[in-house]
């Protein structure tokens, strides 16, 4: 049986929003939010059964509107945020809210998976991240590794830090920052750094990447013209605190050391159209996933700038146990940066890619036509990294 | 019977046989030598020397029958008879010879008697002559002895007179400064004076001479020390001093130090010239000339006279050290001067100067065979040549950049003028640019070629025959220059920045065509030209033509890709701004095509013209008979209904994207920023692909009202009408525009498409 074959799941609607269920560490679970102006939007909970190579899905109704962004709480696996657009008085506004999944969704879907679409359960609204004064929300970020009480929303040119209180049913703005400048500035993406005690944030607007200190809510660095065109996404290296990956409309993926912002550390140009999403693997930061509107997903192995440039470091105890492996290790050449694989299962632009929170060797990608593809890191590479 | 068996005289072979048998008997073989007779020991051999008749007879009697015996007997009798007759003949012959010999001897006896008488007469005469001669010499002897004595006295007197006159003569010589004469005179007298110094008169003379010679030596030393005199004088001086038994080593040192001071004066003269006058005042040829005439010729003179004077006494080592140190200084000066020769205008002067420099140093090698000086000189020439190549390379580089700047300005200038003036200049610019570069390269090659001209002495050195041509000129100059062109072209792609603003796209296009031309013809032409001119024999591996061509092609490809990207981004930017800044929900009903679309078509047309100037048309897939009308079927209202109708039924969403999904399933994946081919259609296709994909992605990010969708429909139809003609495969345009309209419909709050006929009317109105 070929375990490396991709698993494909089709949604009925177009979709852009994808996230792994961050707080879930046992099951491989992804959340997909649909985007439809005319029908009721849904959140699909995709459970992947690794052993049987099968997908179980459950559908929850999200009747507030089409989803642009979705994000799961790191503390409570039932809690998530969405950014959705709401049309009122011929005005389209993107709002954000915190939701809780109904407790029965799991049992219900398992009992009767076939008619789950007929009477799907609805998400329970916990609170709105009220944005009437600040404009459309681009994305909502949970505090990484936090207790699920703090979120940041990026609305137009504002950074809003929220405190969730009373089991997330009440949200209050604790501090804000505003990006001032010429023209209409608008954040397109952001990422909350897991390092420095979660006190830093990186945002993208137009071609610039900015770093923020959340204690003083002030800008700490700014990479002007980080990309030739719009910057679409960012991600922090989970193991190296100053390293940051970005992607954009110039088809490039760039790696930055935020202490030296004049030049990127490295630059990849493998996609043939805009790169919409970039993600570091949570455990092995040499593995990098990118999704692009050329309908391709590329998995790269960036060993040279990873936290393990000479391969996996074996503990001394292991070495004394096994002399042979020690010699083998010495003879092993450091791996070269390379493209591991290009996945071409998608037919339309891929707007989101995400690693599984539970299994570091598994990832999902979502294209606009609603196709979700789950892939694995090639086994040979996996063993190479582990051994 | 005898005559019948062996005819004695008639047959020569028979006689020969007889002779040989006789010879055999006497133990002689044919050549007259004694034969080993081992075989004839048999006593039964009748011809053998050990023949025993008894044994023979017994044997015969025992072995033969009577008949045989009878036969044998008759045979033997026959043989005996023939032998008898042979013997008689021989005896007769010998007798005859003996008689004639006796006659001859008798005749000789008579002749000798006559001769004896004549000899007696001769000896009597000779005795008389001897007597007379003795008498004469006896009378003359006294006078001869007297004359000899007189002449001896005369010589002695002459010598004495010379000795007495010597001091005066030396003085006079001293006055006249005829040192050479004085020294030679003194030398002649010295031994005699030394020998007879015990006699007071001679002693006086000797003392006088000593004083004078001391004075003379002093004067010579003075003169020597002054050093003002010429090298020739100096060497004369030294020669004289040597004859005066001055210590050779000291003299040698002094000689060298004097020579050094004079040579150093020369060097200082050169150095002063180097320092004082800027390079423009004296050209390098003059400088080298002066160096050669003053320093090198003096040096040669010194070497020659040194060898003449000291070579027997002294080792050559001193001279070598001396020459080497001075030459090193000279070389450093020359090198400094060569380094100042930076202008690349006229190479012939430098080559001639180097040639002269080199030629003059050969003289030293002839004078001083073991010296390292000439080879060092050659090295300087080699270094100068290398340096020269580098300078030419950098000159070419600056020339290339300058001409690119010119082109850039030419491209920028006509912007103000009408476009008709500007457009033809692109082709002209290309030809003039490539001609400029080629001519410059040719002239540089011609200049460098001077180094290997036949009349230049160093051109037959192994370096100039081999390495200079292959590594220096071919690799260092030509190949490096071509690589440089490619590299700088590639830099345009990278440094042009991600915004693509710094380099005008036309320049990218022009350079791309230039690189492509290089790939197809120019590189091989240049390299063939070089190989022919320099007769390059490749001892060392050289860059093959194919590798260079590949590099040029790669550069051309990269430039063209970049051009497509830049132009695509410019149009993309317009489209994106137009989509992002508009409020599509609340827009009014479309009345005409938006201006930005017209602008897009205009820009595309002008790009088409621009690319068409430099690149061929390229192949495109066959058009359907009425390509511009094809929109009818694509956007026909009936089909729109099919596509959008399901939106109104709840179960529809699966079908909404069905058509486009099926389309995607069967159409090939479109790479947006993909490499293009070297033709117009491919370039334009690339640009249009980029632009339309941007349009699509931007549309997907927006939400549309009813009129927003209709406006997109109108715009797309307009693009459809004009863009199909530029691309290789019109289906591509159709597909992308389909996608745009489809996506807009999806993103529409109130999707009610506009009637196709209305769209057409609006578009035709312009």
Q: Quick one: B458 exposed, middle or buried, by C-beta within 10 A (0-12, 13-18, 19+)?
A: buried
Model confidence at A299, pLDDT cuts 50, 70, 90, reads very high
B19 against A337, higher pLDDT:
A337
Q: Is residue A1 part of a domain?
A: no
pLDDT for the residue A279: 93
HSE-CB for B457 with a 13 A CA cutoff:
16
Is residue B10 within 8 A of residue B3, CB to CB? The reply is no
pLDDT digits (tens, 9 = 90+) for B737-759: 888 888 888 888 888 888 888 88
Residues of B in contact with A270 (CB under 8 A): none
Entry pTM: 0.68
**Continuous H helices in B277-372:** 284-290, 297-310, 317-340, 347-367
List the single range of B278-287, B289-298, B702-711 with lowest mean pLDDT: B278-287
What residue numbers bound the domain in which A82 lies?
A: 7-386
Q: Cβ B703–A85 below 8 Å, yes or no? A: yes
B595 vs B574: CA distance, rounded Å: 11
Q: Is residue A86 part of a domain?
A: yes
Average pLDDT, chain A: 83
What are the backbone dihedrals phi and psi of residue B73, each rounded to the nearest 5 degrees, phi first?
-60, -50
Res. A10: pLDDT tops 60: yes
Res. A151: pLDDT tops 50: yes
List the single range of A109-113, A232-236, A267-271, B536-540 with lowest mean pLDDT: A109-113
Highest mean pLDDT among A32-36, A143-147, B317-321: A32-36
Report the chain B residue with the minimal C-alpha distance to residue A250.
B498
B574 vs B691: CA distance, rounded Å: 9
Beta bridge mates, A342: A298
Structure tokens at B754: 């506009």
pLDDT for the residue B78: 92
Picking from B500, B654, B669, the nearest residue to A295 by CB comes out as B669
pLDDT for the residue A291: 93
Q: How large a percentage of chain B has pLDDT more than 90?
A: 2
B17-25 mean pLDDT: 65
Is residue A188 within 8 A of residue A230, CB to CB? The reply is yes
Q: How far is B517 from chain A (nearest CA, A)?
A: 28
Is residue A73 within 8 A of residue A148, CB to CB? The reply is yes
B736 against B457, higher pLDDT:
B736
β-pair type (A121-122, A54-62) = parallel
Structure tokens at A70: 């979705």
B253 vs B234: CA distance, rounded Å: 13
pLDDT for the residue B393: 86
Q: Cβ B585–A251 below 8 Å, yes or no? A: no
Residues of B in contact with A343 (CB under 8 A): none
B523-546 mean pLDDT: 76
B524 vs B28: CA distance, rounded Å: 91
pLDDT digits (tens, 9 = 90+) for B480-489: 888 888 888 8
A209-237 mean pLDDT: 90
Report the chain B residue with the minimal C-alpha distance to residue A67.
B701
B693-707 mean pLDDT: 89
Match 């296709």 to its residue by tokens. Answer: B685
Helix (H) or strand (E) holding B59: helix B53-63
Match 């950014």 to its residue by tokens. Answer: A83
pLDDT digits (tens, 9 = 90+) for B233-279: 666 777 777 777 667 677 777 777 777 777 787 778 777 777 765 55
Model confidence at A18, pLDDT cuts 50, 70, 90, reads very high
Structure tokens at A259: 């202490």
Res. B346: pLDDT tops 70: no
A227 vs A253: CA distance, rounded Å: 9
A9-29 mean pLDDT: 87
Model confidence at B131, pLDDT cuts 50, 70, 90, reads confident
Question: CA torsion angle for B651, B655, B656, B659 (degrees, to 10)?
Answer: -170
Res. B521: pLDDT tops 70: yes
Res. A277: pLDDT tops 90: yes
pLDDT digits (tens, 9 = 90+) for B364-382: 777 777 777 777 888 888 8
B617-637 mean pLDDT: 49
B165 vs B161: CA distance, rounded Å: 6
Report the chain B residue with the minimal C-alpha distance to residue A228.
B498
A316 vs A112: CA distance, rounded Å: 52
pLDDT digits (tens, 9 = 90+) for A204-213: 988 899 999 9
CATH of residue A189's domain is: 2.130.10.10
Q: Cβ B746–A37 below 8 Å, yes or no? A: yes
Model confidence at A372, pLDDT cuts 50, 70, 90, reads very high
Q: How far is B562 from chain A (nearest CA, A)?
A: 12
Q: Is residue A141 part of a domain?
A: yes
Res. A110: pLDDT tops 60: no
Res. B637: pLDDT tops 50: no
pLDDT for the residue A108: 47
Residues of A in contact with B499 (CB under 8 A): 225, 228
Q: Cβ A348–B586 below 8 Å, yes or no? A: no
Q: Cβ A251–B673 below 8 Å, yes or no? A: yes
B465-478 mean pLDDT: 77
Provide the number of structural domains found in chain A.
Answer: 1
Q: How large a percentage of chain A has pLDDT more than 70?
A: 88
Q: How far apart, in Å, are the Cα atoms of B668 and each of A347, A366, A367, B664, B732?
A: 10, 20, 17, 7, 10
pLDDT for the residue B555: 87
Res. B32: pLDDT tops 60: no
Model confidence at A232, pLDDT cuts 50, 70, 90, reads very high
Model confidence at B645, pLDDT cuts 50, 70, 90, reads very low
Res. A74: pLDDT tops 60: yes
Give the 3-state secondary structure percentages of chain A, helix then strand then coil, rounded to 5.
10, 50, 40
Q: Is residue A216 part of a domain?
A: yes
Q: Which of B76, B88, B79 is nearest to B2 (CA)?
A: B79
B632 against B158, higher pLDDT:
B158
pLDDT for the residue A23: 81
Picking from A13, A293, A369, the nearest residue to B697 by CB comes out as A293
Residues of A in contact with B703 (CB under 8 A): 37, 85, 87, 92
Picking from A92, A274, A349, the nearest residue to B585 by CB comes out as A92
What are the backbone dihedrals phi and psi of residue A37, each rounded to the nearest 5 degrees, phi first?
-85, -25
Candidates B493, B498, B747: best to mutate against A (most CBs of A within 10 A) is B498
Structure tokens at B563: 């051009």
Structure tokens at B728: 């290789």
Whether ipTM exceeds 0.95: no
Model confidence at B641, pLDDT cuts 50, 70, 90, reads very low
A179 vs A209: CA distance, rounded Å: 12
Model confidence at A316, pLDDT cuts 50, 70, 90, reads very low
pLDDT for the residue B622: 56
Q: Is residue A2 part of a domain?
A: no
Cβ-defined contacts of A86-92 (< 8 Å, 24+) = A87/A37, A87/B585, A87/B703, A87/B749, A90/B585, A90/B586, A90/B705, A91/B585, A92/A136, A92/B585, A92/B703
A286 vs B253: CA distance, rounded Å: 77
B547-565 mean pLDDT: 86
Picking from A12, A87, A272, the nearest residue to B749 by CB comes out as A87
Q: Is residue A21 part of a domain?
A: yes
Q: Cβ B700–A227 below 8 Å, yes or no? A: no
Largest CA distance in chain B: 176
Q: How far apart, in Å, are the Cα atoms of A291 and each of A72, A115, A354?
A: 20, 33, 9
B568-576 mean pLDDT: 88
Q: Cβ A228–B497 below 8 Å, yes or no? A: yes
Res. B658: pLDDT tops 80: no
Picking from B654, B664, B693, the nearest residue to A347 by CB comes out as B664
Q: How large a percentage of chain A has pLDDT more than 90?
A: 22
């Amino acid at each position: 049986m070929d375990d490396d074959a991709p698993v494909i799941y089709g949604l009925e609607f177009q979709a852009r929003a994808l996230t792994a269920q961050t707080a879930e560490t046992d099951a491989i679970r992804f959340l997909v939010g649909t985007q439809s102006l005319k029908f009721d939007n849904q959140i699909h909970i995709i459970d992947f059964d690794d052993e049987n190579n099968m997908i179980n899905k459950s559908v929850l109704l999200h009747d507030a509107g089409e989803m642009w962004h979705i994000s799961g709480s790191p503390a409570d696996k039932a809690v998530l945020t969405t950014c959705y657009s709401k049309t009122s008085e011929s005005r389209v506004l993107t709002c954000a809210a915190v939701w809780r999944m109904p407790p029965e969704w799991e049992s219900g879907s398992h009992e009767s998976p076939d008619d789950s679409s007929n009477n799907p359960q609805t998400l329970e609204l916990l609170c709105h991240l009220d944005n009437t004064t600040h404009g459309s929300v681009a994305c909502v970020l949970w505090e990484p590794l936090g207790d699920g009480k703090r979120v940041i929303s990026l609305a137009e040119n504002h950074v809003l830090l929220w405190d969730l209180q009373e089991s997330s049913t009440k949200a209050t703005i604790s501090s804000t920052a505003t990006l001032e400048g010429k023209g209409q500035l608008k954040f397109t993406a952001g990422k909350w750094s897991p390092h420095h005690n979660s006190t830093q944030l990186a945002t993208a607007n137009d071609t610039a990447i900015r770093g923020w200190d959340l204690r003083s809510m002030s800008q700490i660095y700014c990479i002007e013209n980080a990309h030739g065109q719009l910057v679409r996404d960012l991600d922090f290296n989970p193991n190296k605190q100053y390293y940051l990956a970005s992607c954009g409309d110039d088809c490039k993926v760039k790696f930055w050391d935020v202490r030296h912002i004049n030049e990127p550390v490295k630059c990849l140009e493998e996609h043939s159209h805009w790169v919409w999403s970039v993600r570091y693997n949570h455990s092995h930061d040499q593995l990098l996933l990118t999704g692009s509107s050329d309908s391709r997903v590329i998995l790269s192995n960036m060993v040279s700038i990873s936290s393990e440039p000479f391969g996996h470091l074996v503990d001394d105890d292991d070495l004394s146990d096994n002399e042979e492996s020690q010699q083998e290790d010495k003879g092993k050449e450091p791996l070269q940066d390379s493209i591991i694989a290009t996945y071409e299962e998608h037919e339309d632009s891929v707007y989101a890619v995400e690693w599984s929170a539970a299994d570091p060797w598994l990832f999902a990608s979502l294209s606009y036509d609603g196709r979700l593809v789950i892939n694995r890191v090639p086994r040979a590479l996996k063993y190479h990294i582990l051994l | 019977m005898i005559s019948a068996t062996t005819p004695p005289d008639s047959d020569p072979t028979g006689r020969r046989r007889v002779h040989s048998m006789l010879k055999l008997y006497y133990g002689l073989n044919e050549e007259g030598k004694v034969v080993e007779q081992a075989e004839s020991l048999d006593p039964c051999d009748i011809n053998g020397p050990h023949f025993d008749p008894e044994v023979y007879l017994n044997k015969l009697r025992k072995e033969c029958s009577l008949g045989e015996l009878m036969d044998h007997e008759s045979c033997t009798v026959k043989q005996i008879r023939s032998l008898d007759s042979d013997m008689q003949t021989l005896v007769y012959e010998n007798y005859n010879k003996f008689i004639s010999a006796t006659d001859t001897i008798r005749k000789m006896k008579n002749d000798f008697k006559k001769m004896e008488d004549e000899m007696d007469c001769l000896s009597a005469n000779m005795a008389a002559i001897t007597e007379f001669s003795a008498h004469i010499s006896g009378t003359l002897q006294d006078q001869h002895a007297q004359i000899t004595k007189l002449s001896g006295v005369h010589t002695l007197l002459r010598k004495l007179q010379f000795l007495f006159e010597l001091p005066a003569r030396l003085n006079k010589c001293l006055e006249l400064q005829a040192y050479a004469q004085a020294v030679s005179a003194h030398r002649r007298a010295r031994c005699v004076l030394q020998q007879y110094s015990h006699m007071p008169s001679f002693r006086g003379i000797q003392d006088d001479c000593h004083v004078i010679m001391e004075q003379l030596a002093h004067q010579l030393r003075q003169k020597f020390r002054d050093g003002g005199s010429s090298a020739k004088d100096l060497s004369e001086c030294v020669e004289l001093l040597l004859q005066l038994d001055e210590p050779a080593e000291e003299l040698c040192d002094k000689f060298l130090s004097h020579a050094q001071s004079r040579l150093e004066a020369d060097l200082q003269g050169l150095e002063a010239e180097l320092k004082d006058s800027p390079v423009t005042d004296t050209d390098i040829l003059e400088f080298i000339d002066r160096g050669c005439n003053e320093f090198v010729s003096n040096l040669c003179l010194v070497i020659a006279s040194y060898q003449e004077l000291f070579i027997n006494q002294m080792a050559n080592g001193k001279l070598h050290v001396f020459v080497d140190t001075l030459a090193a200084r000279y070389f450093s000066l020359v090198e400094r001067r060569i380094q100042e020769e930076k202008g690349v205008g006229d190479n012939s002067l430098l080559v001639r100067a180097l040639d002269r420099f080199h030629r003059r140093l050969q003289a030293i090698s002839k004078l001083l065979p073991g010296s390292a000086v000439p080879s060092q000189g050659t090295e300087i020439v080699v270094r100068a040549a290398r340096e020269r190549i580098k300078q030419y390379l950098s000159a070419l580089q600056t020339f290339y950049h300058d001409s690119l700047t010119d082109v850039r300005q030419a491209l920028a200038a006509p912007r103000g003028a009408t476009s008709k003036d500007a457009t033809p200049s692109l082709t002209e610019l290309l030809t003039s640019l490539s001609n400029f570069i080629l001519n410059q390269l040719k002239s540089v090659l011609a200049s460098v070629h001077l180094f290997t001209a036949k009349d230049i002495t160093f051109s037959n050195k192994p370096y100039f025959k081999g390495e200079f041509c292959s590594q220096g000129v071919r690799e260092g100059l030509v190949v490096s220059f071509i690589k440089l062109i490619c590299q700088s072209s590639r830099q345009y792609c990278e440094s042009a920045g991600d915004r693509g603003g710094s380099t005008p796209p036309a320049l990218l296009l022009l350079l791309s065509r230039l690189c492509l031309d290089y790939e197809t013809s120019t590189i091989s032409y240049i390299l063939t030209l070089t190989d022919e001119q320099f007769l390059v024999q490749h001892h060392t591996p050289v860059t093959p033509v194919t590798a260079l061509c590949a590099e040029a092609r790669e550069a051309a490809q990269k430039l063209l890709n970049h051009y497509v990207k830049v132009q695509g981004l410019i149009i993309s930017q317009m489209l994106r701004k137009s989509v992002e800044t508009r409020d599509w929900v609340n827009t009014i009903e479309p009345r005409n095509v938006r201006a930005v679309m017209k602008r897009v078509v205009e820009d595309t047309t002008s790009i088409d013209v621009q690319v068409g100037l430099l690149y061929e048309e390229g192949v495109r897939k066959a058009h359907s008979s009425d390509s511009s009308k094809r929109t009818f079927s694509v956007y026909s209202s009936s089909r729109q209904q099919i596509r959008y109708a399901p939106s109104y039924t709840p179960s529809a969403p699966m079908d909404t994207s069905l058509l486009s999904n099926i389309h995607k399933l069967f159409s090939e994946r479109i790479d947006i920023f993909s490499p293009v081919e070297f033709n117009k259609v491919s370039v334009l296709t690339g640009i249009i692909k980029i632009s339309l994909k941007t349009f699509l992605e931007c549309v997907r990010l927006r939400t549309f009202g009813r009129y927003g969708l209709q406006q997109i429909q109108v715009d797309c139809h307009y693009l459809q009408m004009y863009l199909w003609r530029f691309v290789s495969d019109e289906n591509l345009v159709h597909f992308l525009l389909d996608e745009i309209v489809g996506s807009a419909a999806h993103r529409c709050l109130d999707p009610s498409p506009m009637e196709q006929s209305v769209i057409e009317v609006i578009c035709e109105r312009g």
